Structure formats: C-alpha cells, structure tokens
Amino acid sequence: MNTNDPAQVPGQQSAAPAQVPGKQSAKQPGQAAEATSPHVSTPPASAASAATSVSPVFSVRELWKVFGPRADRIPGSPEAHLPAAELRERTGCTAAVRGVSFDVHQGEVFVVMGLSGSGKSTLVRCLTRLIEPTSGSIGMDGEDVLAMDRTRLRDLRRHRAAMVFQHFGLLPHRSVLDNIAYGLEIQGVRKAQRRARAAEMVAKVGLSGMEHRRPGQLSGGQQQRVGLARALAVDPEVLLFDEPFSALDPLIRRDMQEEVVRLHRDEGRTMVFITHDLSEALRLGSRIALMRDGEIVQLGTPEDIVGAPADDYVRDFVRDVPREQVLTVRRAMRQARDGEAGQGPALAPGATVAEAIEAVARSGGPARVMDAGRCLGVVDHACLLDVVAGLDRAPQPSPDERTDADGSAGRRAGARESAKEDGGADGRANEAPDECADKPAPGGQQPGSDEAVTA
Ligand SMILES: Nc1ncnc2c1ncn2[C@@H]1O[C@H](COP(=O)(O)OP(=O)(O)OP(=O)(O)O)[C@@H](O)[C@H]1O
C-alpha cells in the first residue's frame, strides 16, 4: 500500500482510510454534538444546509490534551474540570484542551481565539498530531487521524494540511523562490516543476520581482508572504495558521489579513486560524471558537458571538466591539408596512448595520432587506439604533435563504467584499433587480437607489 505518493492529489486519500470511531454516518458525523452543546450556537440556515451536503474537513469529538505525569488518567476523572491551578497542585498536570468538540466545514475560515494559555496552539497542533492528544477523536474527511501510521501522518502534514507559523521558518540561505519550492522539494516534486509552481505562488502573494532575494532582504510582512506562499504551493486541502501575523506591525498585519480574505474569497480554501486578537477573529472568521482554560466557551459566527454572547466572559470579551460593524441587517429588520416593500434602498441580508445606517441616512427613509428579489423586511432609524444600543431582537433568518458556495457564515466576509466589488471602493452598489423594482418612486427614480448595498 503506497500511502505516500507524491503525485497524489492533495486532499484525496490514497488508501482506504480508517474511519473515525463513533462516526454515525458519512453525511454528518457529530452534528448532534455541536447542536446539543449549550455554548454552541445553531448555525444560520445556509450554513446548516451546507453542513448537511458535505462532510466536515475536521471532525473533533471530546478531545483532551493533558500535559504531565500519567496524563491519561485525567479525562473522565473527578479532577478533570478542576481549575487549572488546583489541577496542577493535586496532580501535577495541565489540561491544555478539555473535552472539546467541533467540526470545521469545507471552505470556511474557522478561527480559534482566546487569551494566552487558553489552549489554542495545543488544540490546532493536535489536529495533525504535532501534539499527541490524550483522548478523544479527530476525523479528517472521515478518516481517523489518531489511527494513522507514520507514513499516513507525513502524508497528511505534507499534502493535506499545511501550517503557516508566526516565526516564518524560512531557510536563510535560500532565495524566495527556493523557500517557496521547499515544501514541494520534500514531496519529491521535480525541480523544473516545483520552480514553476513556486513562481506562480510568488505572483499570487504579491512578491513578483523579489524571487531571488534572501529572506534577510525582506521585511517581516514580505517574509510572512513567503511563508504563506510556501504553504499554498503544496495546494493543501486546509491551511492552518498559528498566530501568523502577531509579530507584524499593524499596517502590515492589516495587509496580510486582506491577503487571507482575498485568498479565501478567490479559492474558497478551508482555513483554521489561531489568534488572540478579537478584531482579527471578527474580520477573518466564518465561525469563531472562543477558548478559555482549554474549553470552547462559545462557537458561532462573529454575529453570534457579538450579538448573543453565551456568558459573562464572552460578553466582557466583546464589550468594546463596534456592534454596527459586525451585526447585519438580518438582525435589525422588522416587517415591511404599507408599501414599504416597494420602495427605498435595497440591502442584502448580509449588509452590516453600519452600511444600513448610511443607506437610511442618505435616503431619509427605511431601507429594504432584499434576497433573490424578495423583500425580507425593512430597517429604519429606530430599529438600527436598537441594534447599536444592544436592544435588538434575535436574528431572523429567512426560511428559503440561499446557500453560498462556502456554506457557513463566510458569507459575511464575502458579503462585504462583494459589496465593494459591486459598488467600488466605498462599498456602495447599484440596486439589485427585484420584484419591487417596477414600482417607480416619485420622480421616476428609486429613492436612494444609488446608496443600495448588495451582496
Ligand atoms: N509541553 C507542555 N508541557 C506542559 N504544559 C504545556 C505544554 N505546552 C503547553 N502547555 C500549557 O498548556 C496550556 C495551553 O497552552 P497553549 O500554548 O496551547 O495556549 P495558547 O492559547 O496557544 O497560548 P499563546 O496564545 O500564549 O500561544 C498553557 O497552560 C501552557 O502552559
């Protein structure tokens, strides 16, 4: 059985994989585990339907990682949930990851966020067994990661899940091009082929013209681009980022975040992204797993986390987030009254409250929330203010909401990006054709039509 075939397409399995223990069906293993956790928000309708159509890239159940003597006695023991200091005092052990369960869906940016020491790095390293878990199960595309032998594991790390580290790990005496080609070199890809692929990646991450420089001749941001290009060169099914931008200065960091958003939008590649920076998590995440003391205290979309914090810890965490930048009009809207469905600027359901405030201010009246030509509701001054003040109601997903290519709430980032594309740099766009568009406003024009944001 050749389980290390360099010609193998990344993400495809060359051998009959061992199945994840306890896996119920190919359709959606562990959906119940996510849905029954008190801290895990129910995904929006589109995410849920996407989740049922494809199996998760990673499926993690009851995962524990305990460091220290006789670590395997801790999971399931009465000590398992002791506070960290008490556990250490009584047993000499540290429970870095405690009974964590989640799925990473295809095409999403799954952010693992938490304060220093909350267990983020340990958790993500367990996914490819860079750290051996103490107990639990990990599936990748339905294959049992914990049952993989060394060859299969090497294949997983080289071909299927590439890691981008904070410290770029570049080879100082090699050129940019050769650094990018390195991952292909250890896969045994021929020189001409790997250099051609590396040259493609140089362009993709915006380093054209710098191919022959050494890492020492690059800025921190440029070095991180090389790290990113090296991971991309092997065309992995999933990219794992371990706080990749935390050493970069804020402007370069922003630049790199945009790079990730762009890559995700263009390629729809699955990404798992560790950060301790809330604004980075909100900006990049399709969903965010917020960790505390080794546990996931809440797992949900940025809108879930900011709009419906699971407990006081999360509430405190998100207290200073500008709500209007994260929450969407879906949360703010009310039912249309007396002809309101037929006029006013049109907003996509994924438009932010901030975008809606601008549209309503410009038009002087309510804006419509439109989806596939249907008016889902309207937003006016009062309901937008309620959301900003935190007096809003729960979100109101439409029953037949369309599903985007990437399924889950990656739609948010996509919504913002496509708003920009449709309407130019300021994010405005022309009004989408809809069932109300044939009802002319006074003066023959749709009021505020040029303020509308579509996504
Ligand atoms: N090899 C180890 N031996 C013992 N304890 C460890 C080991 N690695 C990590 N830990 C402990 O496990 C806990 C989680 O560490 P981890 O590095 O996963 O946290 P983190 O959230 O990634 O932190 P940071 O943001 O600072 O990198 C911490 O208490 C840490 O001290």
Atom of ligand 1 nearest to the CA of 97: 14
118 lines ligand 1 (CB under 6 A): yes
What distance in angstroms lies between residue 310's CA and the mean position of ligand 1's atoms? 24
Q: 343: which 2 tokens?
A: 């006029």
Do both 207 and 333 map to the same domain?
no
169 lines ligand 1 (CB under 6 A): no
Distance in angstroms (rounded) separating the CA atoms of residues 369 and 378: 6
What does each C-alpha distance from 23 to 28, 57, 59, 381 come to in angstroms?
9, 14, 9, 49
User: What is the pLDDT at residue 415?
Assistant: 34
165 lines ligand 1 (CB under 6 A): no
Nearest alpha carbon, ligand 1 atom 3 = 67
User: What is the pLDDT at residue 394?
Assistant: 54
Q: Where are the alpha helices (DSSP H) in 268-352?
A: 278-284, 302-307, 312-317, 323-326, 329-332
Distance in angstroms (rounded) separating the CA atoms of residues 119 and 297: 12
139 lines ligand 1 (CB under 6 A): no
> For residue 185, is it within any domain?
yes
Do both 307 and 336 map to the same domain?
no
Q: Are strands 238-242 and 161-165 parallel, antiparallel or unpaired?
A: parallel
> For residue 289, is it within any domain?
yes
User: What is the pLDDT at residue 135?
Assistant: 97
Q: Rounded to 5 degrees, what are φ and ψ at 299?
A: -130, 120
Do both 239 and 373 map to the same domain?
no
117 lines ligand 1 (CB under 6 A): yes
- Strands of the 238-242 sheet, one edge to the other: 161-165, 238-242, 270-275, 109-114, 287-292, 295-300
Q: Among residues 282, 317, 352, which one ends one of the domains?
A: 317
Do both 384 and 283 map to the same domain?
no
Residue numbers of the chain with a pLDDT score lower than 50: 1-17, 20-52, 396-455
Which CATH number goes with the domain that contains 84? Answer: 3.40.50.300
Q: Which are the contacts of 44, defined by CB distance < 8 A and separation ≥ 6? A: 301, 395, 397, 401, 408, 409
How many domains is the chain built from? 2
> For residue 309, is it within any domain?
yes
Q: Are strands 367-371 and 295-300 parallel, antiparallel or unpaired?
A: unpaired
Distance in angstroms (rounded) separating the CA atoms of residues 255 and 206: 11
- In terms of Cα–Cα distance, which of 312, 309, 344, 313 is closest to 326? 309
What distance in angstroms lies between residue 67's CA and the mean position of ligand 1's atoms? 9
DSSP codes, 109-120: EEEEEESTTSSH
> For residue 49, is it within any domain?
yes
Q: Among residues 257, 291, 317, which one ends one of the domains?
A: 317
Do both 301 and 337 map to the same domain?
no
Do both 290 and 350 map to the same domain?
no
ipTM at complex level: 0.98
Do both 282 and 384 map to the same domain?
no
Q: Among residues 265, 294, 317, which one ends one of the domains?
A: 317
Do both 201 and 334 map to the same domain?
no
> For residue 54, is it within any domain?
yes
What distance in angstroms lies between residue 97's CA and the mean position of ligand 1's atoms? 9
DSSP codes, 119-169: SHHHHHHHHTTSS--SEEEEEETTEEGGG--HHHHHHIIIIIEEEEESS--
Do both 55 and 91 map to the same domain?
yes
Do both 202 and 126 map to the same domain?
yes
Do both 221 and 333 map to the same domain?
no
Q: DSSP code of 328?
A: B
Q: Where are the alpha helices (DSSP H) in 295-380?
A: 302-307, 312-317, 323-326, 329-332, 353-363
Structural domain containing residue 104: 31-317
Percent of the chain past pLDDT 70, that is, above it, reads 74
> For residue 7, is it within any domain?
no
Residue-wise pLDDT for 248-270, tens only, equals: 778 888 888 888 888 888 888 89
88 lines ligand 1 (CB under 6 A): no
> For residue 101, is it within any domain?
yes
Do both 158 and 256 map to the same domain?
yes
User: What is the pLDDT at residue 260?
Assistant: 86
User: What is the pLDDT at residue 28?
Assistant: 33
> For residue 5, is it within any domain?
no
Dihedral sign of CA atoms 435, 437, 442, 446 in order: positive
Distance in angstroms (rounded) separating the CA atoms of residues 215 and 168: 10
